[in-house]
């Protein structure tokens, strides 16, 4: 697939998910956070920055376009003729880090549309986070990126959805897989606990993705691993019977004939790959789900993610 084709598909996919009608469907979803936000086991969550939720009013600020009208102080408006937003003393906010694998394999096979699907999921998860007053940052991971990652600004409100869309639309699948190095660089200055979602095809040696996921767990993040895949990857006979295949990341060529024996070996290897990834996640307390591009976003968000425990 040419980059222009991929960019057009991504733009169309993002336009669909960021449509107000679709976004309203997401408003009942919440991210699951397993770990306390306090610094010591057994302690209650620490009080932190003021936010637009909670019990005790701590401060006010001037209303800005996009603020939640539920937090307007109408008494202040009546007295002062000013629109003021109430700020509350609340638990420390829960930042969400959405990591998207941008390696070249995310564009292969092209018909599976793995990257546009992953970026659409990233947009949905970002909206769910900011809708619940928690900040979100999107991070693309690839050896082609400087320092193995490319990070968005921190988005804190749905009014910034246009900037979020533009950032996601600028991402493309290029270079080699850089899960561990990219995640490490992106979190170097990160100190707060929160949540992390890794969207990837995980087409690397197990040791590579295990190091990446362990890096997130050891930072105290609630982690979700999402294995993105489509029908052509599940069943390559949909695409060819005999072909010369080019490895999207290494450039190696290989002649492949899909005899019944080879198809059976492939199915066994794919099953082993998914089982090992799922088993590792279960052992580390990581939510795990497979996001099927053919099944669609709503199947992932309203069935697969809740079934894994990552959303509720």
Alpha-carbon distances of 72 from 52, 68, 77, 82, rounded to whole Å: 10, 8, 8, 10
Same domain, 77 and 154: no
CB 233 within 8 A of CB 293: no
**Residue 124 has what pLDDT?**
97
When the pLDDT of each residue in the chain is averaged and rounded to a whole number, the result is 86
Same domain, 210 and 73: no
Residue 65 has pLDDT above 60, yes or no: yes
Same domain, 24 and 155: yes
**Residue 81 has what pLDDT?**
76
Token pair recorded at residue 294? 């053919």
Same domain, 14 and 52: no
Same domain, 131 and 154: yes
Same domain, 15 and 62: no
Can you say how many angstroms the Cα of residue 54 is from the centroid of all Cα atoms in its chain?
A: 27
pLDDT band, residue 43 (cuts 50/70/90): very low
**Residue 39 has what pLDDT?**
38
pLDDT band, residue 89 (cuts 50/70/90): very low
Quick check: is 140 in a domain? yes
- Quick one: average pLDDT of 34-51? 40
Residue 280 has pLDDT above 90, yes or no: yes
**Residue 247 has what pLDDT?**
87
Quick one: CA dihedral 60, 157, 100, 26, positive or negative?
positive
Same domain, 147 and 275: yes
**Hey, which of 30-34, 76-80, 89-93 has the most confident mean pLDDT?**
30-34
* Domain containing residue 175: CATH number: 3.40.50.410
Number of domains in the chain: 2
Range of lowest pLDDT (112-116, 224-228, 256-260, 278-282): 256-260
Residue 41 has pLDDT above 50, yes or no: no
Exposed e or buried b for every residue in 275-295, given b needs 16+ CB within 10 A?
eebbebbeebebbbbbbbbee
Same domain, 76 and 99: no
Residue 42 has pLDDT above 50, yes or no: no
**Residue 50 has what pLDDT?**
41
pLDDT band, residue 67 (cuts 50/70/90): low
Alpha-carbon distances of 94 from 30, 118, 142, rounded to whole Å: 12, 22, 26
Domain span at residue 227 reads 3-36+93-308
Nearest one of 228, 255, 226 to 242, comparing CA atoms: 255
What percent of the chain stands above pLDDT 90? Answer: 67
- Quick one: average pLDDT of 280-299? 97
Give the bridge partners for 48, in sequence order: none
**Residue 57 has what pLDDT?**
56
**Residue 192 has what pLDDT?**
65
Q: What is the pLDDT of residues 218-247, one digit of tens each?
A: 999 999 999 999 999 999 998 889 988 888
């Amino acid at each position: 697939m040419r980059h222009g084709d991929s960019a057009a598909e991504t733009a169309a996919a993002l336009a669909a998910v960021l449509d107000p009608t679709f976004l309203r469907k997401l408003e009942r979803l919440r991210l699951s956070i397993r770990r306390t936000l306090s610094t010591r086991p057994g302690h209650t969550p620490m009080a932190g920055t003021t936010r637009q939720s909670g019990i005790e009013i701590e401060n006010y600020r001037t209303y800005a376009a996009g603020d939640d009208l539920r937090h307007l102080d109408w008494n202040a408006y009546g007295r002062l003729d000013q629109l003021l937003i109430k700020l509350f003393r609340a638990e420390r906010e829960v930042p969400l880090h959405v990591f998207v694998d941008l390696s070249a394999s995310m564009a292969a096979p092209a018909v599976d549309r793995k990257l546009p699907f992953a970026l659409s999921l990233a947009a949905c998860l970002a909206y769910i986070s900011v809708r619940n007053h928690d900040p979100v940052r999107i991070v693309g991971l690839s050896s082609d990126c400087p320092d193995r990652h490319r990070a968005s600004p921190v988005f804190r409100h749905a009014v910034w959805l246009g900037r979020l869309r533009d950032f996601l639309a600028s991402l493309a699948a290029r270079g080699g897989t850089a899960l561990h190095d990219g995640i490490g660089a992106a979190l170097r200055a990160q100190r707060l606990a929160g949540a992390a979602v890794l969207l990837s095809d995980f087409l690397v040696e197990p040791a590579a993705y295990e190091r990446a996921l362990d890096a997130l767990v050891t930072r105290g993040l609630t982690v979700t691993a999402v294995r993105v895949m489509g029908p052509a990857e599940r069943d390559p006979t949909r695409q060819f019977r005999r072909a010369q295949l080019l490895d999207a990341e290494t450039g190696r060529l290989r002649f492949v004939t899909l005899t019944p024996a080879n198809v059976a070996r492939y199915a066994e290897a794919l099953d082993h790959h998914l089982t090992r990834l799922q088993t590792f996640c279960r052992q580390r307390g990581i939510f795990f789900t497979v996001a099927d591009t053919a099944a669609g976003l709503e199947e992932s968000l309203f069935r697969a993610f809740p079934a894994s425990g990552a959303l509720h």
